[in-house]
Structure 1
Amino acid sequence: MTVHRKTLTFAAALLALVPGMAQAAPACLTRPEAQALFTYALPQVISGTAKRCQQVLPADSYLRTHGTELANRYASQKGRSWPEAKAAFLKLSEGQSSDVAKFARNLPDDSLRPLVDITVEGLVSQNLPLKSCDRIDLAVDLLAPLPPENTAGLIALIVEMTAKAKDVAPADVADKAKIAGLTLCPT
């Protein structure tokens, strides 16, 4: 398995963070919006993945030994990425329901952020396929040295590449990206 495929698997898992919200969303995100959304959400995705995969990964796996540390390190950038991530979240919520969008838009940030955090972590920890855990663990290990912005930028780029050329991604990853419904605006 190549590093590219492992990264695509991790990106597909990250895309799972907005399955209910993005599936019906006709809106597309720019690469900077997607990168901000991913930068913001990565700590919760990592935490949710570590929780979900704990039951199937060996004790010495990266997520079990360093997952909390990595999530905490990545969380240091959340505040800085929140304004753009919030705009991306609200843009996607518009495609789901005007009521959902209105509710989210009217919440103060100190209420909306924890709601987004809990939702992302919960969706990942409940829905991530256990058979993907070993590949995701390896991908997280390979990406861990990168700053959160670089990891998020790489994931956004992969989403864009997958949307432009379905043959870039293995069928199972392309299908998951399609299911998640996240679309990057054409450049």
Structure 2
Amino acid sequence: MPVFMPTLRKTIGLTLASALAVLPGVASAQQSCLTKAEARSLFGYALPQVISGTSKRCAQVLPSDSFLRTHGAELVSRYASQKARYWPEAKAAFLKLGQSKDAQVGQFARNLPDESLRPLVDITVEGLVSQELPLKSCDKVDLALDLLSPLPPENTAGLIALLIEATSKADEVAPGKAKLGGFTLCKD
């Protein structure tokens, strides 16, 4: 396994936890599982904020010629152009995971109009990543994003979902499911 894969996996887990923190129920998310399509949509939607948060966090430690510092904004813009396409299924995934712990708060989130919920998700994901990503991981994440950058957003999101499925702790979860970063991926 390439040297950056464990760091990328940890970053993805942090990202997912960050993304899901905007809604209730992260701790009990294992009660619901996401399909591969839902996970791909969630990642496809959240990747621009993850990359932006990573760029902000890592700017202080990456050299001026690093990928994130020279091309990060371009990658965010390219991936953000696809967000609307992912939103319906990503929203369903966020709500599915959030509903399981607190039905009242979950219902509140469900009743928010998209114009309110989307910015809340975006700000939370970017903010948490920019605060919590370990600085010692920046060089590895920078390399991973550089390697993934030629891919279209849907391929990157699909690859991340595949990596999670392939590296998750399936033995610790019910048969037919894989778990990582506070959520469970349903095995099709």
Fold conserved (TM > 0.5)? Answer: yes
Alignment-mate amino acid for residue 14 of structure 1 = I
Query: Aligned partners of 2:125, 2:90: CA distance in 1, in Å?
Result: 13
Alignment-mate amino acid for residue 183 of structure 1 = T
Q: Quick one: which of 82, 94, 102 aligns to 1:97?
A: 102
User: Which residue of structure 1 lines up, in the alignment, with residue 26 of structure 2?
Assistant: 22
Q: How does 1:1-187 map onto structure 2 within 5 Å?
A: 2=2, 5-19=3-17, 20=21, 22-25=26-29, 26-163=31-168, 178=180, 180-187=181-188
Query: Aligned partners of 1:14, 1:164: CA distance in 2, in Å?
Result: 15
Cα drift, residue 13 of structure 1:
1.2
Structure with the higher fraction of residues in strand conformation: 2
Cα drift, residue 38 of structure 1:
0.2
Query: Aligned partners of 1:60, 1:136: CA distance in 2, in Å?
Result: 15
List structure 1 runs of 4+ shifted beyond 4 angstroms: none
Cα drift, residue 161 of structure 1:
1.1
Alpha carbons of structure 1 residues 165 and 98: separation in structure 2 relative to 1, 3 Å: closer
Query: Aligned partners of 2:4, 2:104: CA distance in 1, in Å?
Result: 37
Normalising to structure 1: TM-score of the pair? 0.86
**Are 1:17 and 1:45, in contact at CA under 8 Å, matched by a contact in 2?**
yes
Cα drift, residue 164 of structure 1:
5.5
**Corresponding residue pairs, total:** 174
Alpha carbons of structure 1 residues 133 and 96: separation in structure 2 relative to 1, 3 Å: farther
Cα drift, residue 8 of structure 1:
4.8
**Are 1:8 and 1:158, in contact at CA under 8 Å, matched by a contact in 2?**
no
Alpha carbons of structure 1 residues 11 and 147: separation in structure 2 relative to 1, 3 Å: farther
CA RMSD after TM alignment: 1.8
Unaligned runs of 5+ in 1: 167-176
Normalising to structure 2: TM-score of the pair? 0.86
Unaligned runs of 5+ in 2: 172-178
| C-alpha distance after superposition, 1:79-126 (max 9, x if no partner) | 001000000000111134223311210100011000000000011001
Cα drift, residue 165 of structure 1:
5.8
**Are 1:14 and 1:42, in contact at CA under 8 Å, matched by a contact in 2?**
no
Cα drift, residue 181 of structure 1:
1.0
User: Which residue of structure 2 lines up, in the alignment, with residue 171 of structure 1?
Assistant: none
Structure with the higher fraction of residues in helix conformation: 1
| C-alpha distance after superposition, 1:50-69 (max 9, x if no partner) | 00011111111101111111
Alpha carbons of structure 1 residues 162 and 100: separation in structure 2 relative to 1, 3 Å: farther
